[in-house]
Structure 1
Amino acid sequence: MIREDFKEILRLVRPGSRVLDVGCGEGVLLDLLTREKQVDGRGLEISAAGVAACMSRGLSVVQGDADLDLDHFPDRSFDYAILSQTLQATRQPRHVLDELLRIADRAVVSFPNFGHWRVRWSLLHRGRMPETEALPLPWWSTPNIHLCTLADFLALTEDLGVRIDACAAFAGIGPARQIDPTKAIENWRAESCLFMLSRNPPPVQGATRTEPPATSGDLFDG
């Protein structure tokens, strides 16, 4: 069964694109994009077990840390850089997001929304860190070290001066719901959020895309 956020990413990514999946885990999303959208896909994964699982699928993945190793990629190496449910586990989320938009034309980022009403209720009613479908692990074992709300993330995009091209919200097992992230009610309703971001003006229709620099020296060479 395909995760709803993966379905939304599949909808957003154009066929034949160059894609980097950062924090790709066992390669489920990257494999899906390769099969369904024929992307030229690469992955960056911190765990050796995840890299091994990706390689068993025939995917091009290297072991690396998003906080440290995105610096090795040349500018505009990819059409899309994807960070799915990983931003909150990075040590430097602002730097990571900035790097995604340096190495790719568009960044697709999803994360659990700490402003969801169930999270607020858990803190108010129980006085304890919440455990929800989007945040299932107890505070002492979770990899999530920089949790944020939808409003927090929106403020970060403004601080970085990036454009929001699309935004979807998820709750439970329901499908993606396209939203206006500036509406305060969405910070209560969305259990998790997905943004597609860009820094450059949208391309002129029919214009030829300038190719990025050669990838000599990046993590996949050699």
Structure 2
Amino acid sequence: MNNRLRPDLLRIAQWVDPGSRALDLGCGDGALLEHLKLTRNVTGVGVEIDDDRVLASTQRGVDVLQQNLEEGLALFSDQCFDTVVLSQTLQSMHKTEHILLEMARVARYGIVSFPNFGYFPHGISLLRGRMPVTGQMPYAWYNTPNIHLCTIKDFEDLATKLGLQILERATYGPKSEVKWLAGWRATLALYRFTSKSFT
């Protein structure tokens, strides 16, 4: 099972407590929730809009709701989950602040990951007069789903503004985890956070 998950999803799984309740927003094919169920005894629910991905999730035995995340998480009561995950979807959300606050409302812990626009080849592309196209951001400017690109520092500033306390961070380059000069060298950033009201 482990070799089927991306390294960032394996790290996310490590941050979810065994035996807890998890909500995966934009759960895709349900691979993370299936892994959490089988290896950490986690009770999970996914939210996904795409028909094919909803079907793939249900075929894995994952409970999934078909809903647009832009409509919010109003169907979930306060603190009904232990952890809520938003993996590589934040940059495509129209209401970035709203979804982060909703994550903090429905669960004690939030985990979010996003492509780091501060990755140095992106800057080189811009200096050449072109929008960056990389493995983490593989779309051309005219067909990208990414509407709110940010750097590691941008996200940390927003978390502070929203009253979110960052508990853990992991950053990845194209081939492995990055720990030195992550703001320039990382293509992907992961954060685990909680609302400051819990600390």
Q: Give the TM-score category using the shorter length.
A: over 0.9
Would the aligned equivalents of 1:19 and 1:42 in 2 still touch at CA under 8 Å? yes
Give the deviation of 1:121 after TM superposition.
1.0
Q: TM-score, normalised by structure 1?
A: 0.84
Q: Which residue of 1 aligns with 2:107?
A: 104
SS in 1 for 2:78: coil
Q: Percent identity?
A: 42
Q: Which residue of 2 aligns with 1:142?
A: 144
One-letter identity of the residue aligned with 1:101: A
Residue 178 to residue 30, structure 1, CA distance change in 2 (3 Å) = farther
Q: Are residues 1:190 and 2:186 paired?
A: yes
Would the aligned equivalents of 2:21 and 2:44 in 1 still touch at CA under 8 Å? yes
How far does the alpha carbon of each residue in 1:24-49 deviate from its partner, in whole angstroms, 9 at most, with x for none?
01111111111111100000001111
Give the deviation of 1:177 after TM superposition.
4.4
Give the deviation of 1:186 after TM superposition.
2.8
One-letter identity of the residue aligned with 1:189: R
User: Structure 1 runs of 4+ off > 4 angstroms?
Assistant: none
Would the aligned equivalents of 1:4 and 1:173 in 2 still touch at CA under 8 Å? no
Larger radius of gyration: 1
One-letter identity of the residue aligned with 1:201: F
One-letter identity of the residue aligned with 1:3: R
Aligned length: 195
Among candidates 5, 8, 12, match of residue 15 of structure 2: 12
SS in 1 for 2:58: helix
The separation in 2 between residues aligned to 1:155 and 1:65, in whole angstroms, is 27
How far does the alpha carbon of each residue in 1:45-96 deviate from its partner, in whole angstroms, 9 at most, with x for none?
0111111111111110010111213122100010000000000011101100
Q: Are residues 1:35 and 2:32 paired?
A: no
The separation in 2 between residues aligned to 1:29 and 1:139, in whole angstroms, is 29
SS in 1 for 2:136: coil
The separation in 1 between residues aligned to 2:117 and 2:178, in whole angstroms, is 18
How far does the alpha carbon of each residue in 1:160-182 deviate from its partner, in whole angstroms, 9 at most, with x for none?
011000001000121x3467xxx
Would the aligned equivalents of 2:20 and 2:42 in 1 still touch at CA under 8 Å? yes
SS in 2 for 1:70: coil
Would the aligned equivalents of 2:117 and 2:151 in 1 still touch at CA under 8 Å? yes
Would the aligned equivalents of 1:106 and 1:197 in 2 still touch at CA under 8 Å? yes
The separation in 2 between residues aligned to 1:99 and 1:51, in whole angstroms, is 22
Q: Are residues 1:170 and 2:167 paired?
A: no
How far does the alpha carbon of each residue in 1:85-123 deviate from its partner, in whole angstroms, 9 at most, with x for none?
000011101100010000000000000000110111111
Tell me: higher relative CO, structure 1 or 2? Use CA pairs within 8 A at least 6 residues apart.
Answer: 1
Residue 97 to residue 147, structure 1, CA distance change in 2 (3 Å) = same
Gaps of 5+ in 1: 180-184, 203-222
Q: TM-score, normalised by structure 2?
A: 0.94
SS in 2 for 1:129: coil
Which stretch has the larger CA shift, 77-86 or 22-31? 22-31
Q: Are residues 1:61 and 2:61 paired?
A: no
Would the aligned equivalents of 1:133 and 1:172 in 2 still touch at CA under 8 Å? yes
The separation in 2 between residues aligned to 1:26 and 1:74, in whole angstroms, is 25
Q: Which residue of 2 aligns with 1:215?
A: none
Q: Which residue of 1 aligns with 2:125?
A: 122
How far does the alpha carbon of each residue in 1:189-212 deviate from its partner, in whole angstroms, 9 at most, with x for none?
22110000001435xxxxxxxxxx
Gaps of 5+ in 2: none
The separation in 1 between residues aligned to 2:173 and 2:135, in whole angstroms, is 9
